[in-house]
Structures are given as structure tokens and as C-alpha cells.
Amino acid sequence: MPRLAPRIPNPRVILAVVLLAVFSFALLQSLINPVLPALQEELDTTPTLITWVMTAFLLSASVFTPVVGRLGDRYGKDRLLVVSLAALAVGSMLSALAPGIGLMLAGRVVQGVGGGVLPLAFGIIHDEIPKEKAPNVIGVAAALAAVGGGVGVLLAGPLTDAFGLRSLFWIPAVLTVAAAAAARVVVPASRSRNPKPISWLATVLLAGWLVALLVPLSQATRWGWGSPVVIGLLAAAVLLAIGWFTVEKRSDRPLVDMRMMRLPAVWTTNLVSLLFGIGLFAVMTFLPVLVQTPPEAGYGFGASVTQAGLMLLPMTVTMFVAGLASAPLVRHFGARLVLVAASALNAAAITLLAFGHDSRWLVPFALALLGVSLGIGFSTMSNVIVAAVRPDQTGVANGVTANVRTIGGSLGVALMTAIVSAHTPGAGPPAEAGYTYGFAVLGIAGIAALAVATLLPRPGGAQSTAPASS
């Protein structure tokens, strides 16, 4: 009997599975934001505790994104993709079944392990998609990762109205179970791996300084910026970060290779990612609240949750279309010019929101511009990182970039919360000046991103690939 030939993986099928995985994770990043007040009432908890539904997820994702990316580089991106998707599914089901805030938060922490989906997806695309098509495909994946956040806000209201609050956990659970099963069957074993064992001391130190940084940033407006807890945690974050950097620099098996991080293309891209994150997360968090404010407050449109989601539709559409266009634009104009243009649009769009948020037509127009900026920007950044590092480093490198964006998001939300809270009277909605000043500060972050983007090296003008492993 003749021997059967081995099955050759179909790149299109692999791509479909990877994109489903990316979209499933991205959806979870924002699906819960618009319904936190209703979730607080259902769980019979306090306003302070309900904010931890988002904080717990962000903290967990911040810690696990680079760690899972590095584990994928070592043990196989295909295996860790299945693990990440399984964690998303288990966490979603725990949250869906949670009778109280405790199990809900535990589920959100488990969901955060799924943050590894993004770096693993970019690494799999680099490994499995033909080289000439990889930049376009990475652009699609990066755009979809960003679009998922907008779709989450858009769908939260209609899904809640039709199926109830818990559907916001059950539907992602079904999606991730399907994606995990498909990934197990379709995605082939990784060909490029980093054989060095992982430094668990570096992993613990990384987790320590990220938690010590992000907890006070997310809670400072409640605890007080001058409180001993906030100051103590921020000081601990600095000390732990120094310890982590020292261990990584001296280690022959680093979690994050510091030589890789010193590459001009890598550090500039990560800094731009941080500054983009500041604007994106804060806009996604506060703009729905602004448009839902009753006009009697002197601003706002009195929109429902569903209407607030529809306000974000232009950003979602333009983000995806711009992501598809990013690779051709980079081929024609170069990554630096494209990233500079995206940063300029980012600053302009957020500035429009700062001074034109009382206009029903200017808000969606500004959001459409912001979508173009984010779609082009995120896609370009992902391609720059993949091109700059060795194949066995794509997982951890993209994990760091995604993580840096999350840290920027925490900074942006903390800044915006502090400014809006400072302009909030004892009762009633915030004063309009809080949103004006807050978005203006986010616009300054966009201008800073524009300045950093100009430092991105031209192809061949600076070292663009990581040193070979010893």
C-alpha cells in the first residue's frame, strides 16, 4: 500500500484561524467597558470594585503578554496559541458563571493570559505566510486587533439588550473555543525556536514591576496621588524595574533580550506604541461616557449605550481599511514617513475631540481620522518589529510592543481620570473643561509620538536586525 504524503498546511486556512484568534482577544478588551454600571448593579458590588473588572484584565494581560510570547519562541508558537485561547475561553466561562465580584475578577485574570495571542499570531504569520505576502497579512492582523476594540464597544449594547449581560462573556467563550480547536488542528509546529531556557527570576521581576506600576496608575484617583500606598508602589516599581533590567542585561537566557531592545527600529517603535496607547485607551474609555452625558450638563448628546457604540463605528471602519492599506503605503513611501503621517493624524484627531466634542458631526469625523491613524500606525509598527528582529524573537518582541501599548493605555486612562475627576463637582457629571483639558493632554502625547516617529531609521541606514544568538 503506498505511503500517504504528509499534509501540507494551507496558508489561507492558517491565516483564517490566526485572524479569528486575534479578533476573539481584541473583542474582550473593550466589550465590557460600556456596561460596567449595569454589571455593578447585577453583581451588587461597589464602584471601586467594579473598576477592577477592567484593571484585573489589563494587569494580567500586561504580565502574560511578553511571557507567553517568549514561551512561544521557546516551545512553539502553535502550542502556546492553543494555551492562550484556552485561557481566554476558561476565563470567559468563569466570568459568565460568576455569582459575585470575586469569581468575576478571577475569570478576568485568567482571560488576561490570552494576551499572548497577539505576539504569537504575528510570529506564526511570519513563519507560515509566504515572505512577499507577510507584510500585508501582518497589517491585516494588526488592524483587526485594533478594530476588535471598537467592535466590542459597538456590540456591547445590542448584545446586552438581546441576550443579557452574561452574553458578553459567553459569546467570546464560544469564539475562543472554536479558535483553539481550529488552531490545534490547522497551525503547524513552529519551525523557528529559541532553544535557550527561560529566566524565571526575570519573569517574576517583570511581573512585579508591572503590577507595582499599573495598580497605582489605575487607582491613584481613588487612593490619592500623594497617598503612601501609591508612592510606595511607584517606588517599588522603579526598584523592581532596575532589578529586572540588570538581571536581563547579565543573563545568557533573558526573557527580553536587551540587545534587541536597543535596536533603533525597536526602541523607537515601542516608544511610539506607548504614546499611541495613551490616546487610544483613554478615548475608548471616556468618549462613550461623554456622549452619554445628558445635554442639560452643557455638553454631551444623551446617547444610549448602543448609540454611543455607533458613534465609534467610523473609527472601527477606517481603522480596518487603513490597516489593509498600510503595507502598500510602506512599500511606496517607507515605514518612517508612514508612521510620521499616522502620528500627525493621531495628534490632529484627538485635538479635534478636545475642542470640537460638542458637535455631532465633528466627533465621528475626528474618530474616523483617529481610525486611519491607528490602523496605519499599528500595522506599520508590527511590520517594523517583525522585520527588525530574528525569527526566533518575533513572539517576545511583538509581546513587548503590545505590552508597552497597554502600559501607555493605563497611563492615558490614569491621566484622563485625574483631569476629569479634578473638574467633577460633588454631585452630577464632570464639568466640560475636564474633557477639554484631558483630550488636549492626550493630543500632546500624539505630538510627542510624531517627534519620536521621525527618529525611526531608514531601511539600511541603521542596524535593523538583532545580533545572532551565541
The answer to whether 288 and 311 have CB atoms below 8 angstroms apart is yes
Query: What percentage of the chain has pLDDT greater than the value 90?
Result: 27
The answer to whether 437 and 418 have CB atoms below 8 angstroms apart is no
CA 432 – CA 466 distance, rounded (Å)? 48
Q: Do 307 and 380 fall into the same domain? A: yes
Helix axes of 335-356 and 362-388: crossing angle, nearest 10 degrees: 150
pLDDT band at 4 (very low <50, low <70, confident <90, very high): very low
CA 316 – CA 314 distance, rounded (Å)? 5
The answer to whether 126 and 394 have CB atoms below 8 angstroms apart is yes
Closest listed residue to residue 416, CA positions, set 340, 345, 353:
353
Long-range contacts, stretch 287-293, CB < 8 angstroms, 24+ apart: 287/311, 287/312, 287/353, 287/357, 287/363, 287/367, 288/33, 288/34, 288/153, 288/312, 290/357, 290/435, 291/363, 293/429
In a domain, 465, yes or no: no
CATH of the domain at 419: 1.20.1250.20
CA 67 – CA 145 distance, rounded (Å)? 19
Give 318-336 pLDDT, tens digit per residue.
988 888 888 889 888 988 9
In a domain, 463, yes or no: no
Average pLDDT over residues 118-144: 80
Average pLDDT over residues 302-315: 82
Domain extent at residue 210: 199-252
Q: Do 229 and 257 fall into the same domain? A: no
Taking the model in full, what pTM does it have?
0.78
Helix axes of 264-292 and 134-163: crossing angle, nearest 10 degrees: 20
Asked if residue 2 has pLDDT above 50, the reply is no
CA 15 – CA 121 distance, rounded (Å)? 9
Under DSSP, the state recorded for 461 is T
CA 118 – CA 25 distance, rounded (Å)? 8
pLDDT band at 352 (very low <50, low <70, confident <90, very high): very high
pLDDT band at 9 (very low <50, low <70, confident <90, very high): low
pLDDT value of residue 470:
37
In a domain, 449, yes or no: yes
Q: For residues 192 and 123, which has the higher predicted lDDT (pLDDT)? A: 123
Q: Do 220 and 273 fall into the same domain? A: no
Under DSSP, the state recorded for 428 is S
Q: Is 100 left (phi over 0), alpha (psi -120 to 50) or beta?
A: beta
Q: Do 240 and 272 fall into the same domain? A: no
C-alpha cell belonging to residue 50: 467594579
In a domain, 52, yes or no: yes
pLDDT value of residue 465:
46
pLDDT value of residue 124:
87
Q: Do 224 and 280 fall into the same domain? A: no
In a domain, 467, yes or no: no
Distance of CA 139 to CAs 126, 273, 382, 444, Å?
A: 12, 15, 7, 26
Q: Do 143 and 213 fall into the same domain? A: no
pLDDT value of residue 459:
63
In a domain, 274, yes or no: yes
pLDDT value of residue 394:
72
Stated as kind and residue range, the H or E segment containing 261 is helix 258-261
User: Which region among 228-232, 410-414, 443-447 has the lowest average model confidence (pLDDT)?
Assistant: 410-414
Give 148-177 pLDDT, tens digit per residue.
777 887 788 888 888 988 999 999 899 899
What Rg do the C-alpha atoms of the chain give, in angstroms? Answer: 21
In a domain, 439, yes or no: yes
Average pLDDT over residues 46-60: 79
Give 277-303 pLDDT, tens digit per residue.
898 888 887 888 888 888 988 888 888
CA 48 – CA 41 distance, rounded (Å)? 13
Q: Do 190 and 302 fall into the same domain? A: yes
C-alpha cell belonging to residue 211: 503590577
Q: Do 192 and 110 fall into the same domain? A: yes
Average pLDDT over residues 442-463: 82
Q: Do 245 and 274 fall into the same domain? A: no
Q: What total of structural domains would you count in the chain?
A: 2
Average of per-residue pLDDT values in the chain: 84
C-alpha cell belonging to residue 264: 533603533
Q: Do 311 and 208 fall into the same domain? A: no
Q: How many CB atoms lie within 10 A of CB 246?
A: 13
Tally the residues of the chain. Answer: 470
In a domain, 3, yes or no: no
Q: Do 192 and 317 fall into the same domain? A: yes
Asked if residue 193 has pLDDT above 50, the reply is yes
Query: What percentage of the chain has pLDDT greater than the value 70?
Result: 94
Q: Do 445 and 372 fall into the same domain? A: yes
